């Protein structure tokens, strides 16, 4: 066999899952290559620059933060498995975040990385619910959410056994759904548990320089373990025969072979790679897509009078609707992120102020617009989203205060997501149907990352680790 074109493992996609899987496999002597179509790593959590300004694609906050000494959580498992020292990620904790519901955010639950704050907020706002809430939390703490063979169960059904006030129920679901759910209206309970722990029982943090820091650490580990990667070189077809992946046809027309293939590009997307066409996939595509506005400010958001919230999850309506947007953008609910409001230490701060707002958006209503219409719609919705989000922040001193402080703006739409990540339907959180054990109909092809079902950045990395361990390393292959 031609050694230069044969790998023990070929990984499709240099996002968090692909890099983490690659580190494990290379560390244990496998000949590994990661194929990435884009020119930068990170996948759904990548970065870019415009006019010399650095932006993170999706990272608001890294979830799953625990302090040094707390063991047995996803973050500490991941650090051990990838031989990363805590300090390398240089994580700085959030100040505080909120869930704000009502036309002007009248009902608000604050939370920090100290869970007792959230618990006391629930007790204050929903005194009749606190006993049920505590029972729910006890159940979540003991639930085996990393089991690869757990039976699916509706999270709404489980939560209603403990929480009977629909407002509190929706206020618990809103952050959990926005930070990782690929299913509309409800979630699988195991997925709810993963996200609840990640957001509330653990917490938010980020490196001062954002997702680049995480990716730099991963790339360094991968390189020093001997892993190869080919950038701007995607996989256009997985050539299969008799239920076995024989070869990968690359974008440049060449072929490589691999004993095992790990695909991190999504389950329906991987199915398409096998058919090599545009045909509809059997595996369902995600219905949920998003848009995000990014506003660069000449001062910190706090100096505008917006306080020190790190993240605000908001909803203005009586019912919280997490579903495919019927309008081009659904501004009723969303997420505000002010990345300046992490505790970076006394002498460290971001160079400029940042104000980011995410809302649900309709892929279909964005993807096929003529260019001039697309740009006009972006401008219109940018204004609408800002207006909606500001209802949940303290009022500004004057109507034009935000415009005056604005240095630059950017916005991504469902179209942008698919263009840069290849995710069908702009579905950041992938397919509603997760493949927990990563198996496919092809005996040497495994799914890792978003569509395997461990959510968030830390989840994506753990997914890569678990699939590499389970299918290749532990199997002694």
Residues 24 to 63 in contact with another protein, rule: CB under 8 A:
27-29
Instruction: Provide, rounded to whole angstroms, the least separation between the CB of residue 213 and another protein.
Output: 20
Stretch that binds another protein, among 81-89, 97-105, 157-165, 365-373 (CB under 8 A): 81-89
Write the CB contacts of 66 (distance below 8 Å, at least 6 apart in sequence). 73, 75, 76, 202, 203
Q: By CB under 8 A, is residue 80 in contact with another protein?
A: yes
Closest CB to another protein among 84 and 428? 84
Sort residue 183 into left (φ over 0), alpha (ψ -120 to 50) or beta.
beta
- Regarding beta strands 96-101 and 107-111, do their DSSP bridges make them parallel or antiparallel, or are they unpaired? antiparallel
Q: By CB under 8 A, is residue 370 in contact with another protein?
A: no
Closest CB to another protein among 83 and 244? 83
Closest CB to another protein among 11 and 468? 468
CB of 134 closer than 8 Å to CB of 115 = no
Stretch that binds another protein, among 12-20, 74-82, 154-162, 419-427 (CB under 8 A): 74-82
| Residue from 71, 141, 232, 244 in contact with another protein (CB under 8 A) | 71
Q: By CB under 8 A, is residue 474 in contact with another protein?
A: yes
- Distance between CA atoms of residues 331 and 132, nearest Å: 31
Residue 458 burial (CB count, 10 A): 25
CB of 75 closer than 8 Å to CB of 65 = yes
Instruction: Provide, rounded to whole angstroms, the least separation between the CB of residue 43 and another protein.
Output: 23
Which residues partner with 240 through β-bridges? 245
Q: By CB under 8 A, is residue 5 in contact with another protein?
A: no
Instruction: Provide, rounded to whole angstroms, the least separation between the CB of residue 67 and another protein.
Output: 11
Q: Taking the CA atoms of 426, 438, 236 and 251 in sequence, report the sign of the dihedral they define.
A: positive
Residues 414 to 473 in contact with another protein, rule: CB under 8 A:
465, 469, 473
Token pair for residue 259? Answer: 């004993």
Q: Find the Cα–Cα–Cα–Cα dihedral 325, 327, 330, 331, rounded to 10°.
A: 180
CA angle, corner 407, sides to 300 and 205, nearest 5?
40
Instruction: Provide, rounded to whole angstroms, the least separation between the CB of residue 28 and another protein.
Output: 5
Write the CB contacts of 313 (distance below 8 Å, at least 6 apart in sequence). 97, 98, 99, 100, 174, 175, 178, 333, 334, 335
Q: By CB under 8 A, is residue 281 in contact with another protein?
A: no
Closest CB to another protein among 1 and 475? 475
CB of 143 closer than 8 Å to CB of 193 = yes
Closest CB to another protein among 225 and 417? 225
Binding region for another protein (CB under 8 A)? 27-29, 68-69, 71-72, 76-77, 79-81, 83, 85-86, 465, 469, 473-474
């Amino acid at each position: 066999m031609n050694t230069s074109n044969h790998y023990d493992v070929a990984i499709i996609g240099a996002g968090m899952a692909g890099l983490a899987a690659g580190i494990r496999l290379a560390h244990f002597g496998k000949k590994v290559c990661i194929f990435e179509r884009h020119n930068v790593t990170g996948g759904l959590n990548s970065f870019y620059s415009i006019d010399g300004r650095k932006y993170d694609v999706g990272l608001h906050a890294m979830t799953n933060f625990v302090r040094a000494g707390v063991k047995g959580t996803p973050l500490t498992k991941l650090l051990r498995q990838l031989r990363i020292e805590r300090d390398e990620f240089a994580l700085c904790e959030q100040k505080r975040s909120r869930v704000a519901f009502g036309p002007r955010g009248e009902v608000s639950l604050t939370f920090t990385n100290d869970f007792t704050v959230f618990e006391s907020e629930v007790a204050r706002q929903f005194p009749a619910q606190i006993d049920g809430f505590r029972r729910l939390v006890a159940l979540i703490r003991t639930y085996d959410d990393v089991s690869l063979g757990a039976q699916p169960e509706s999270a709404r059904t489980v939560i209603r056994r403990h929480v009977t006030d629909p407002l509190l129920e929706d206020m618990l679901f809103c952050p959990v759904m926005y930070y990782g759910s690929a299913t509309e209206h409800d979630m699988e309970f195991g997925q709810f548990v993963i996200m609840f722990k990640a957001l509330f029982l653990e917490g938010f943090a980020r490196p001062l320089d954002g997702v680049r820091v995480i990716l730099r650490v991963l790339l360094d580990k991968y390189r020093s373990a001997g892993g190869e990667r080919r950038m701007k070189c995607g996989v256009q077809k997985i050539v299969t025969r008799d239920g076995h992946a024989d070869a990968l046809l690359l974008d440049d027309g060449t072929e490589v072979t691999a004993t095992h293939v790990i695909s991190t590009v999504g389950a329906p997307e991987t199915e398409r790679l096998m058919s090599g066409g545009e045909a509809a996939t059997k595996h369902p595509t995600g219905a949920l897509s998003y848009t995000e506005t990014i506003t660069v400010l000449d001062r910190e958001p706090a100096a505008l009078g917006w306080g020190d919230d790190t993240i605000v999850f908001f909803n203005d309506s009586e019912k919280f609707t997490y579903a495919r947007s019927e309008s081009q953008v659904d501004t009723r609910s969303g997420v505000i992120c002010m990345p300046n409001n992490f505790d970076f230490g006394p002498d460290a701060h971001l160079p400029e102020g940042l104000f980011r707002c995410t809302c649900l958006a309709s892929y279909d209503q964005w993807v096929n617009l003529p260019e001039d219409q697309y740009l006009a719609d972006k401008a219109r919705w940018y204004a609408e989203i800002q207006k909606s989000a500001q209802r949940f922040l303290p009022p500004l001193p004057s109507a034009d205060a935000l415009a005056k402080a604005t240095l630059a703006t950017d916005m991504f739409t469902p179209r942008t997501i698919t263009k840069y990540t290849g995710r069908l339907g702009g579905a950041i959180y992938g397919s509603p149907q997760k493949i927990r054990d990563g198996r496919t109909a092809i005996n040497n092809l495994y799914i890792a990352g978003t569509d395997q079902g461990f959510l968030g950045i830390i989840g994506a990395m753990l997914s890569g680790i678990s699939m590499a361990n389970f299918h290749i390393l532990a199997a002694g292959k």
